[in-house]
Amino acid sequence: MREAAARLARTLAGMLAPALIVASGAAAKPPAIRAPEAILVDAASGAVLYAKHPDGRRAIASTTKLMTALLALQSTRPDQVLTAVPYSATPAESTLGLAPGERMTVHDLMRALLLASANDAAATLAHGIAGSEAAFVVRMNDEAMRLHLAATSYANPIGLDDPDNYSTPRDLATLARRLMRDPAFARIVDLPRARLKSGAHPRTVLNRNLLVRDVPFVDGVKTGHTNHAGYILVGAGRRGGAQVISVVLGEPSEAARDAETLALLRYGLSGFTRVDALPAARTLALAPVKYFDGLKVRLHASRDVRVTVRRGARVDTHVRLPVPLRLTGPLPAGARVGTVTVLVDGRRAARASLVTEERVPGASFWRRAAIRAGATRPTLALGLVGVVLLAAVQLRGFVLTRMRGRVGPG
């Protein structure tokens, strides 16, 4: 009996339910992108949805500040206060107007860095974190290597034109995917504007990414522009649980940059759909109950699981149960006994508890004793217990009778 239960458990544990292949539907036509280099990726998996010379190296202007932001997130606290360093800006540069020695929180410096693209905020973060710009650049390049951004090089924390400051659409998309997983970063780049309360006086900064301000589903990421680099935008869009990230480099104007980014984001999001991957009403397994031969309890997911997936994706349900699988009662309906995972193209997309659909009865002392004594069925088990009890009673009577016979009147 134990071997049979173990075999059943091994069959169910790690079980894959029949796969659901999401219908492809009518494929949207990829947009005509004139940017010299561009890419569009699924933010969740990194799958490339569109590419045009994705590994072409180019100056990246203020999208350099994405790496500056990553190091700040890793090395500082939002309430940490840094002292502004002297910064000599050219008339065309974007700055916050920080005075040397002015003190501002990292919380506000990050908003100035990512929304207004303030170069003096980038310099202040670099000096505050590493002690000097040169030391900070070393850390930028070390982090690029750690993230496998093989075609990326940094020469400053700002994005000023330099032969050694460049990247590619593929590397920028990889970096943006990493950053958008950080809730603090994602909240900042989705702000149309922000009020900075620290520093010498309050300031309001506007997001230079006009798509975030004007298009509801756009939620990031960073603009860039120099005369050498042209107009650049790392974009992000989210709809119905799906998120895509786009990169366009070397655009001739802000209008072209925004229009082509919006076309890529819309194209990417159109390829996703919402599916019922795991209805809670579906019975996923039948679990035997210890001490109750033949009784099996239905198991199902604790909740409905819906996922957003790319059209044509494969959706699998992976049920994981303990080995050996034998429930021991009493357990209420809804008791957690395992897990069920939804896989999309082999990657985990969602997880829920596997719970009992009905109450699991508990075995009495006599039932457990009889089963342990070797009875194979509950009726035989109860009969065995009765026989043992009857024998015990008869033995007690016999013993008492013998004792009375030995003890006579004095």
Q: How confident is the model at residue 31 (pLDDT cuts 50, 70, 90)?
A: very high
Catalytic residues: 62, 65, 117
The single residue listed with the structure tokens 């999401």 is 22
| Better-scored residue on pLDDT, 193 or 23 | 193
Q: How far apart are CA 284 and CA 69, in angstroms?
A: 45
359 secondary structure, DSSP code: P
92 closest CA partner among 159, 36, 189: 159
Find all residues with CB under 8 Å of 383, minimum gap 6, and list them: 375
Find all residues with CB under 8 Å of 334, minimum gap 6, and list them: 302, 355, 356
Model confidence at 403: pLDDT above 90? no
Record the pTM. 0.76
| Residues 17/279, Cβ–Cβ less than 8 Å | no
pLDDT tens sequence across 307-356: 888 887 888 888 887 666 777 778 888 888 888 888 888 888 888 998 88
Model confidence at 81: pLDDT above 50? yes
Q: How confident is the model at residue 74 (pLDDT cuts 50, 70, 90)?
A: very high
Q: What is the dihedral of CA 33, 36, 40, 43, to 10 degrees?
A: -150
166 secondary structure, DSSP code: B
pLDDT value at residue 393: 54
Q: How confident is the model at residue 69 (pLDDT cuts 50, 70, 90)?
A: very high
Model confidence at 114: pLDDT above 50? yes
pLDDT tens sequence across 221-241: 999 999 999 999 999 999 988
